[in-house]
Structure 1
Amino acid sequence: MKRLVVGLFAVVMFISCSSLEKGTSLEQKYSITKESAKNWDKTIIQVVKGESLIEDWYGNENPIIYLRKTGKMSEKDFNFLTSLEKKDATAITDEEYNDFVDLVKKYNKKLPRKFYLADENLKNPKGLVDRMVRESFVKMDNPSTHIKNVVATQEEWEQIVVFSQQNDLSEKDTKKLRKMLNKFIKRDEFYDERAWYNREISERVIEITNIDAKENITSLEKNNVNAKALYIAYPEYFSTLEKWDD
């Protein structure tokens, strides 16, 4: 019985220490101090950008604006944060500092997200299928040829061709296309760096290529790579990525 109690105590201590380590990791990683709390905007921007897998996690804009716009930073939070910048760092109390660190952690926890298309994210579905079919005849590898030859089943591609032959897509057709595209971005083989580099050579393609090359890529990382790849391939036919569903 004594051994059991000692063993349980050891487990509890291990969990407590692990939780403490995780809880303070951001504070340690970014050397957050009371001076950081005074310069709260720079600190939050640094942490948000540093912890985001892709810029679309914070709307590809100023993180403070994004957090406020999306309601992740409440008016109460904002008022508290702006009060810190009016103080000398030495005048910030331990309680205020801890509250600041808690906010940084809270915003960080709200960052990770997956991206999926909602019907309203397709701006011109007919134009999209027209382009996909048209580009599928190009000999050089591109996203459309890759989707046709590798990603889509024969039945799925035939449906895209049928859509392209219509004068327009109905609401039902758009929903069907949207569901199909969401299936595509769930597939491991969706992204192909050669096809996308033939579309454009840019920092954002390099970014998703580097993520895709990681060992033991997570489902969240794979989703982010594929969703952003779809947007990069046909940006004029979709709303910006941060507006997609999750």
Structure 2
Amino acid sequence: MMFYSLGRYILLLRLSFKKPEKFDVYWKEIMREMVSVGIGSLGIIAIISVFIGAATTIQVAFQLSSPLVPLSIAGKIARDSTILEFSPTISSLVLAGRVGSSIASQIGTMRVTEQIDALEIMGVNAPGYLIAPKIMAGITMVPLLVIISIVLGISGGYIACVVSGDITPADYLAGVRDGFDGLTIRVALVKAFVFGFLICSICSYQGFYTTGGALEVGQSATRGVVYSCVMILFADLVITSLML
């Protein structure tokens, strides 16, 4: 059963990326999905990033209370943990709930109301028209959102230093600048690219093969979010192991 589902998933991806009939129509859909995924998710990503960055910095400062450890190390730890793990992984898990459920519900509703059947009768490549723009938007906008999340997360740590006084802002900034390795940014962007693809493709698959009615649409959306989160965590482990 698992191999059958995997085969249908791969076949759906192949159909999604067939040569489009009219590129202009697909381009408009890609732009619309990019606005939905990127601009629509910016607020929640910004809020989460600032608070996680601030909380991480305060917790690191609490754990490094020894006078033998320089306080600037808190900035370095907060920076690397934000870049490598918090921003790409936590942001993607949030996006799986917000974007993934929307994708699965939208496509699932079109399936149960026979709109997808109507597209296929008219000769339209339904997977290409419905799924490819969402995947393109995901692999484009999720890395951009992760970059914004990294900046806001580090800024949140600075704000925490100013407010709490546990670490001076100068020590924090010194730690952020100390020993920066560009590999961490590359790892974060690779994670964001893969996570964006997984969210949009898995949730699209769940929605596309929905059968039944409104109850089944909700179940498809739930499965899409759960499977996306599991695959994000698995891919996070694999990418971390390979690149670090």
Task: Provide the TM-score with structure 1 as the length reference.
Answer: 0.28
Q: Whose Rg is larger? A: 1
Greater relative contact order, per chain length (Cα 8 Å cut-off, separation 6+) = 2
Task: Provide the TM-score with structure 2 as the length reference.
Answer: 0.28
